[in-house]
Structure 1
Amino acid sequence: MSATTLDTAVSKRVDYSEAENQAALVAVKAHLITGFLVFLLMMLAGAAMRAAQSNMMPVEAGLFYQILTLHGVGVVGTAGIASTGVLWYFLRQYVPLSTKIFWLNFGVFLAGVVIILGSIFIGKYGGGWTFLYPLPGISLGAWSTGAAAAFLLGLLIIGTGFLILYLDMGRAILSQYGNFGRALGLTQLFGKEPVNPYHPATVVAGTMVLIVNFIGIAVGAVVLVMMLVNLYNPEFKPDALLVKNLIYFFGHVFINATIYASVVAVYELLPRYTGRPYKTSKVFYAAWFAIVFMVMAVYPHHLFMDAPMPMWAMITAQVLSYGSGIPVLVVTGYGALMLVYRSGIQWNTASKLLILSMFGWAAGVIPAIIDAMVSVNRVLHNTLWVPGHFHFYLLLGLLPMIFGFTFYLLNGKKEGKTPLTEKLGFYSYLIGGLLLALTFLGSGAHSIPRRWAVHMEEWVPYAQWGTLAATLVVLGVLLFTIRVLTALPKAPEPSV
């Protein structure tokens, strides 16, 4: 396909001034640089926990659970802000987004982060990022009510910033497409409009993320307020199972939305490396429409151990868990392979990371599906199998999408000679990430529990392998971060 034809296929863009584009690029770079720095710190925290479990580094149990809380909330929050940078960069090319509101969310996010850090390291809060009721208010003296409240308030503040950003996204999409159904391609799916193969995949993905994450964060805000009221008015006792449902609905939707936001990098960038457009179709629209409901309905697979849960919810969760990753993953993975096949793709760090993300997403969902089988879940759910599955698709699926987009901004489409920091960083990250995920899965298969600060002697070898793997991951991200910090700020925006 000629470059002219490809440009035509992706050229339906909103007109901005040069100054507006430069301001937007600076804002996106700020999101990505922050993401790299915080991801690196969170990976150091993860490596420290693995080293503590392997008896290679002494860490007091209370501090371990503070680090565990920081690691969980830090990775999830940073995935949210970095993936938003990816989605926002491409979505603004099709709908008129506000850079000021983009910055506002970033500032609100940082304010919430500061409060959360204070709650953990000053207030010594260590109740986990899932803040399951009634643990935040019953610490047996490990942390104060104020520390728990600060943690919950920090999350609430961060959520408020995201809700404001999503309101702006909704305004922009509605102004351009009239309604969310048209933006999702439903009018084409159901025959109300002819199929347009160049309807932007980014708009479809962005609309899906907007819908599910707005609902998820709103639910999270409700449960956070309920728990804050309980902290200072213990007579107010919400139903524990209801609260757990609300928390896991919020958490599951939010972390899954990060990968659905980041996958637009695949839709937008692989065509630029292969010279072939990514075409949408009725199958594509149907897949994204299905996942709107699936990603919100599947969360009860986290609650299989809760006997009072209604049977219909458990059955629904198990059935949907088998298929929730299939619709979008299949159309995205298959589409990516068809773009690459015999395309003469330009291989550089960005394109290699994007292809790695397809593998990580596809392979990482398999352990999740296995854990979602009730008979297996009863044995594996409270083991390191669960960190194995989410480290697999986060380290090898989600983050390579974000990293790949960053290196696209840094290097553009050029092939040329890959800098040594990028080359060593890629292979260190790939080997370390794969080894870490497999070590977690192997530990879970041998019934080693998760969330334990101290490991029994027979578990220590697994933790030692995990420490080695985590060290390789940290090294890879450190090399990536050095390259990003030194080159990204002054890198010009790549041409289409």
Structure 2
Amino acid sequence: MTTNSDIVNYSDTENRSALVAVKTHIITGFLVFLLMMAAGATMRAAQGKLAGVDDSLFYQIMTMHGVGVVGISGIVGFSIMWYFLRQYVPLNLKIFWINFYIFLTGVVIILASIFVGGYAGAWTFLYPLPTTSLGVWSVGAAIGFLSGLLLIGVGFLILLLDIARGLLSRYGSLARALGVTQLFGKDPLDTHHPTTVTISTVVLIVDFIGIAAGAVALIIMLINAVNPEFKPDPLLVKNLIYFFGHVIINAAIYSSVPAVYELLPRYTKRPYHTSKVFYAAWFVAVFTIMGVYPHHLYMDFPMPAWAVIAGQVLSYCSGLPVMIVTGYGTLMMVYRSGIQWSTPAKLLVLSIFGWAAGGIPAVVDSMMAFNSVLHNTLWVPGHFHFYLLLGLLPMIIGFTFYLFSTPEDEANPPLIEKLAVYTYVTGVLMLVLVFLTSGAHGIPRRWAVHMDPWVPYAQWGAIAGVLVTLGLLLFAVRVFTKLPKATDPALEYSRH
């Protein structure tokens, strides 16, 4: 059983240094998310003929927007998971920083390849597009983009190895950390087993495999870029890329979920007890997260039928175990708890709604009959903006406000916080509705120029994008004004 005596003890200096590291990740995340939202609103304004953006620049912005959102979601999500996990297992602060510096180096290389080299092949870098641009960008720009991604992946793999070391040093095996030994009766049920440890083990397994697959694809494409005589199987490379892409963005969400499990019990004054149902749900998640990606490849007719069918079936089921456990657990913690609806509490509960509801359009798109008419439309940005902006971001913002708040702030949130919540939520719901409606009407995604009937949708999307950006900006202003007052590590370690 995990008790207070099982919590890893650190010195005040270690806690202070760790807190600075986490806050640095969070502040960087806010700045990058603001930039990515501004880029998204700009693209929608260009499609709506409200802003003059050169077509080549549009696709460069689109590439930056995609890779930027995925990358910053991953690194901020990991910082949340790392913050809570280090309470239960020993983690190396230097490696945490190393990953951050590697990430920044990779970002600089990628930005140079895009805005200096002109690379505009989207963040999915599907073979053979990066090296066959018809002269729009050079092979050197493609090599820079692919190398920057590979470098960022190496940084994440190093951090994951340290997480694995910490888990193994404490629990002896990943099965015990995951709770599988309790699930199958090898160990007695421990209802106090940290939820963060179980979730972190899931993220470790799927993200390590996913990033490794992405690294293989990147290395194959880099070899092809240097030696064009080497021609890999396009379908194999596409499978590797979409397996990597699907896993890494889902892992970004899952790595942020500990904020819900760790913080909501503190606001509701109700502990969350693990159970065999909890362990079973997260054990199943290991396989569903990795197994659903073929729903991205329905239109690739050479794909084996069994893989496509498995992708569809698993897509139906993928979100149910974890979402039922997390959603039901959230409702039970909140119901008649007398919870004080501070800004972090509102955002954490909102994140569960966004995570669950955002998955519904994704399941619809994973059905073959719908996928054949929806997958290359704006329906797809609709579903992933839904669960990123109303699922992932509220987890991140809620955690941030917890990290930077004093008890007085939480008891009496100022007007700017309330305004930020309503502006942000209104903007996101409007943005998602425009995306999904556009997709239902067959408006394609990734097109810089829109036909006249599509323009009004893009214009409403631009307005919604501005509202979303404004909402996050209000959150950021509040966080930055709190920053000078939230430098004492005892501020939130004393809450544990």
**Corresponding residue of 1:373:** 367
**Corresponding residue of 1:184:** 178
> 1:15-414 alignment to 2 at 5 Å?
15-412=9-406, 414=408
C-alpha distance in 2, partners of 1:40/1:26? 21
**Corresponding residue of 1:455:** 450
1:127 counterpart SS class: coil
Does structure 1 retain, via aligned residues, the 8 Å contact 2:340–2:411? Answer: no
C-alpha distance in 1, partners of 2:199/2:483? 26
**Corresponding residue of 1:468:** 463
Structure 1 residues 13, 258: CA separation in 2 closer, same or farther (over 3 Å shift)? same
Q: Deviations over 1:354-380 (max 9, x none)?
A: 011011001000000000000110000
Is 1:421–2:421 an aligned residue pair?
no
Percent identity (aligned): 69
C-alpha distance in 2, partners of 1:258/1:308? 31
Structure 1 residues 489, 278: CA separation in 2 closer, same or farther (over 3 Å shift)? farther
Counterpart residue identity of residue 306, structure 2: W
Per-residue deviation, 1:416: 2.4
Does structure 2 retain, via aligned residues, the 8 Å contact 1:298–1:317? Answer: yes
Structure 1 residues 276, 305: CA separation in 2 closer, same or farther (over 3 Å shift)? same
C-alpha distance in 2, partners of 1:429/1:410? 19
Counterpart residue identity of residue 256, structure 1: N
Per-residue deviation, 1:490: 3.9
Q: Deviations over 1:406-435 (max 9, x none)?
A: 000111555322122222111111000111
C-alpha distance in 1, partners of 2:407/2:155? 33
Counterpart residue identity of residue 451, structure 2: M
Counterpart residue identity of residue 135, structure 1: L
Does structure 2 retain, via aligned residues, the 8 Å contact 1:349–1:407? Answer: yes
1:488 counterpart SS class: helix
**Corresponding residue of 2:432:** 437
Structure 1 residues 413, 86: CA separation in 2 closer, same or farther (over 3 Å shift)? farther
C-alpha distance in 1, partners of 2:238/2:406? 45
Structure 1 residues 281, 460: CA separation in 2 closer, same or farther (over 3 Å shift)? same
C-alpha distance in 1, partners of 2:138/2:481? 42
Does structure 1 retain, via aligned residues, the 8 Å contact 2:405–2:482? Answer: no
Is 1:483–2:492 an aligned residue pair?
no
2:468 counterpart SS class: helix
2:411 counterpart SS class: coil
C-alpha distance in 2, partners of 1:404/1:43? 18
Q: Deviations over 1:83-116 (max 9, x none)?
A: 0110000000000001111001000000000000
Counterpart residue identity of residue 425, structure 2: L
1:133 counterpart SS class: coil
Does structure 1 retain, via aligned residues, the 8 Å contact 2:80–2:259? Answer: yes
Q: Structure 2 unaligned runs (5+)?
A: none
Does structure 2 retain, via aligned residues, the 8 Å contact 1:50–1:466? Answer: yes
TM-score (norm 2): 0.97
TM-score (norm 1): 0.97
Per-residue deviation, 1:443: 0.3
Per-residue deviation, 1:399: 0.8
Per-residue deviation, 1:10: 6.5
C-alpha distance in 2, partners of 1:10/1:489? 31
Per-residue deviation, 1:488: 2.9
Per-residue deviation, 1:268: 0.2
Does structure 1 retain, via aligned residues, the 8 Å contact 2:210–2:243? Answer: yes
Counterpart residue identity of residue 52, structure 2: P
C-alpha distance in 2, partners of 1:116/1:486? 31
Counterpart residue identity of residue 179, structure 2: G
CA RMSD of aligned residues (A): 1.1
Structure 1 residues 340, 440: CA separation in 2 closer, same or farther (over 3 Å shift)? same
C-alpha distance in 2, partners of 1:480/1:150? 34
C-alpha distance in 1, partners of 2:302/2:484? 53
Per-residue deviation, 1:196: 1.0
Per-residue deviation, 1:153: 0.3
